[in-house]
Structure 1
Amino acid sequence: MANNNAQPKKAGIAGLFRHQIMIPIAALMLLVLFNLIADPSFFKITLGSNSDGNPVLNGYLITIIDSGSELAILALGMTLVTAASGGQDISVGAGIAIAGSVLLRVLCGTETSPETLHAPVIVAFLISCLVAMLFGAFNGSLVAFFKIQPMIATLILFTAGRSIAAWINNNQLPNVNEPSFSYYGTYIPGIPIPTPFFIALACFLVTWLLLRFTTLGLYVQSVGINEKTSRLNGLNPELIKLLTYVLLGLCVAIAALIKVSRLQTINYSVIAKDIEMDAILAVALGGNALGGGKFSMSSSILGAYVIQFLTTTLYKFQVKADALPAYKAVVVIILVVMSAPAVREKLSALIKKLRTEKAAAQNS
């Protein structure tokens, strides 16, 4: 009887470890263990005040949930694009530059540093959302209707996007002097937790509700797994792919608001530099198939914060910014190798062999 009870328990534990979210959790545990050993003060959180005298929380963990929030927002859209199209959008960094430039253009008009805003922030944000979604639709059209490989299709905007962003503001760097505009990228007075974290949380909840109470998630997975079969079942693969790119464009606009709000200005060549690689890595670290199909939003979100955890850890130990891509490349190599079908088959065969040998030893 005891053996019968132990068997389902072992099966349940094995099933838990096979769950997709265990990949980013395992990576997170490794980073936590490393920092606990190397410097436990990494996890210290203190209550201080900012330049305006408002109470704010300080510490490396706060930096992670703050700086990782726009990456988490991008990971939401990138997950849908990857699942539906079996490819990735490498233009999100340039898209952030464009959306941020549009946002500042509406707020500042033709002035470089206006004393008062030319339009409410919500109006400027909605216009930047529209522009970002249009560029997302452009990328999606190339992928869905012209059957261009996603990375090649989005290479167009990746190459030209920052020049377009500079052209929007005539190569000027507008500066917003309104203090309340900085709240979106820093702190709301009286709330010690960074605002970007709440924005990311709201985006996750809206996405969860969208996937929970509509058939969008099922359609995206169906198209990503087998486009021809989904068409025979009455779906429109082109429309679904286009929709995922438009949704990613919306995520880009939200991330742009946070990025521009932090500094209240923009640098077209630097803003969101290489963030597209981190967004793709977040999707991969979340255990999502980069070839499309089944996906997990919660795993991608956790993957995004794990990447920021890694970045913050490297900065903590004074690793130069130029060297960061090399460390992330190691993570990419490990993920790609571990997710390769040949490696998975060999690992499964090895585990099966070990279980068989263990069972034979117990019976003897």
Structure 2
Amino acid sequence: MWDILKKVYGNRLFWPLVALSLIVIFNIIFVNDFLKIEYKDGYLFGRIIDILNRAAPLMIMAIGMTLVIATGGTDLSVGTVAAISGAAVCVVLGGNFNGVPNFPFIVAIVVALVAATIAGAWNGFLVAKLGIQPVVATLILYVAGRGIAQMITGGQIVTVYYKPFAYLGGFLPGLPVPFSIVIFAAVLVLTIIVIKKTALGLLIESIGVNSTGSRFSGINVVKIKFLVYAFCGFCAGISGLIISSMIKAADGNNAGDAYELDAILSVALGGNSTCGGRFSIGASLIGALIVQSITTTLYALGVSSQVLPLIKAIVVILICLIQSAEFRNKIMGLFIGERSGHSEKAAV
């Protein structure tokens, strides 16, 4: 029995799940009707559904970010890449009041995803081929990306009246759950198939542990890093489609704002090492749910958008302390030491 408990306790998913469970319990106690799910007009509604829907873009970004961080890098540009993707799809569809798109919907999606993938490939080129530090390389697009999105939209907020566009971030007729959840599930399944059914996952971990050693062992480090960053851009592009669909418009200045920080935070809160190496996509997804649950909870409690980042930061610090083995050991040591002191006094 003790061996089973020790195995469960030592699992990397244990403490992220504990943190998520504490947030859920808090919501059940303090947020009205948190567990309530209603079925209206063929669709499911409720706070849990809303969290999953809002978390879908972040979870998709977290998938790509996990692979990038596993190689020992990072990507600060995913939020701006999402803005570029949203700007591209909305401009291609057009803001026509009659709801008739300028080009077919599939063309607009392909253009947006190609633009996002090219942006990710640009990051990969700078990091893998030119050897620029990932923070510096992706910071370039982080700074320039909003300007690119604004250039695409002409500095305007392009509102799309084409009805099917709203399905990406909303409800698809005949589907009871938001379509964004289905999109996320598809990306997750395809990623896991590639990672688990090929040697790519092991190669990524090997590069993250020792990039130089991997290169000398015959692994094409440059190619794999390039593909990983391109895929991260692709994931950000999908997220950008969902984000722009939720507001039915392209907002190059605000779409995807701070998503890069939440994506990195999701990977870290899931227990993945930010130094690279062994990774778990499932852990990152739990981290993304933690981040989105905190945000949704604070809004439900009436916390203003100005104060929300401060409260969110405090909660994240507490969660990090819970997940820190060193902190838990110190607290346990203080507790045991205090009890030992009381026992010695009682014995005297």
Is 1:200 equivalent to 2:184 in the alignment?
yes
Is 1:21 equivalent to 2:8 in the alignment?
no
Q: Is the 8 A contact 2:158 2:249 kept in 1?
A: yes
Is 1:42 equivalent to 2:34 in the alignment?
yes
Q: Across the two proteins, how many residue pairs are aligned to each other?
A: 337
Is 1:93 equivalent to 2:79 in the alignment?
yes
Q: 2:65 corresponds to which residue?
A: 78
Rate the CA distance shift 1:207–1:287 in 2: closer, same or farther, 3 A.
Answer: same
Shift of 1:149: 2.2
Shift of 1:268: 1.5
Q: Distance in 1 between matches of 2:253 and 2:167?
A: 24
Q: Is the 8 A contact 2:62 2:284 kept in 1?
A: yes
Shift of 1:328: 3.1
Q: 1:67 corresponds to which residue?
A: 54
Alignment map for 1:229-240 (pairs within 5 Å): 229-240=213-224
Shift of 1:10: 1.0
Rate the CA distance shift 1:192–1:346 in 2: closer, same or farther, 3 A.
Answer: closer
Rate the CA distance shift 1:87–1:347 in 2: closer, same or farther, 3 A.
Answer: farther
Q: Distance in 2 between matches of 1:335 and 1:28?
A: 9
Q: Distance in 2 between matches of 1:179 and 1:124?
A: 14
Task: Give TM-score scaled by structure 1 length.
Answer: 0.86
What secondary structure is seen at the aligned counterpart in 2 of 1:57?
Answer: strand
Q: 1:320 corresponds to which residue?
A: 304
What secondary structure is seen at the aligned counterpart in 1 of 2:186?
Answer: helix
Aligned residue among 34, 53, 56 for 2:43: 56
Is 1:217 equivalent to 2:217 in the alignment?
no
Shift of 1:284: 0.6
Shift of 1:169: 2.3
Is 1:157 equivalent to 2:144 in the alignment?
no
Q: Which runs of at least 4 in structure 1 moved beyond 4 Å after TM superposition?
A: 111-115, 334-341, 344-351
Alignment map for 1:292-331 (pairs within 5 Å): 292-331=276-315
Rate the CA distance shift 1:346–1:263 in 2: closer, same or farther, 3 A.
Answer: closer
Q: Is the 8 A contact 1:98 1:161 kept in 2?
A: yes
Q: Is the 8 A contact 1:81 1:87 kept in 2?
A: yes
What secondary structure is seen at the aligned counterpart in 2 of 1:322?
Answer: coil
Shift of 1:338: 6.9
Q: 1:256 corresponds to which residue?
A: 240
Q: Is the 8 A contact 2:31 2:297 kept in 1?
A: no
Shift of 1:58: 1.7
Q: 1:3 corresponds to which residue?
A: none
Rate the CA distance shift 1:131–1:326 in 2: closer, same or farther, 3 A.
Answer: same
Tell me the amino acid that sits aligned with residue 213 of structure 1: K
Give 5+ residue unaligned stretches, structure 2.
Answer: 341-348
Shift of 1:72: 0.5
Shift of 1:60: 0.8
Q: Is the 8 A contact 1:107 1:120 kept in 2?
A: yes
Q: Is the 8 A contact 2:153 2:252 kept in 1?
A: no
Shift of 1:336: 5.9
- Residues 8-49 of structure 1, C-alpha deviation per residue, up to 9 Å, x if partnerless? x2122111111111122011111122122224521111123x
Q: Distance in 1 between matches of 2:331 and 2:211?
A: 29
RMSD between aligned residues:
2.4
What secondary structure is seen at the aligned counterpart in 2 of 1:187?
Answer: coil
Stretch deviating more after TM superposition (138-147 or 292-301): 138-147
Shift of 1:207: 0.7
Q: Distance in 2 between matches of 1:283 and 1:12?
A: 27
Q: 2:107 corresponds to which residue?
A: 123
- Residues 164-213 of structure 1, C-alpha deviation per residue, up to 9 Å, x if partnerless? 11111222332222212211110012322111011111111111111111
Q: 1:51 corresponds to which residue?
A: none
Q: Distance in 1 between matches of 2:209 and 2:315?
A: 26
Q: Distance in 2 between matches of 1:99 and 1:18?
A: 40
What secondary structure is seen at the aligned counterpart in 2 of 1:321?
Answer: coil
Identity of aligned residues (%): 37
Q: 1:281 corresponds to which residue?
A: 265
Rate the CA distance shift 1:336–1:145 in 2: closer, same or farther, 3 A.
Answer: farther
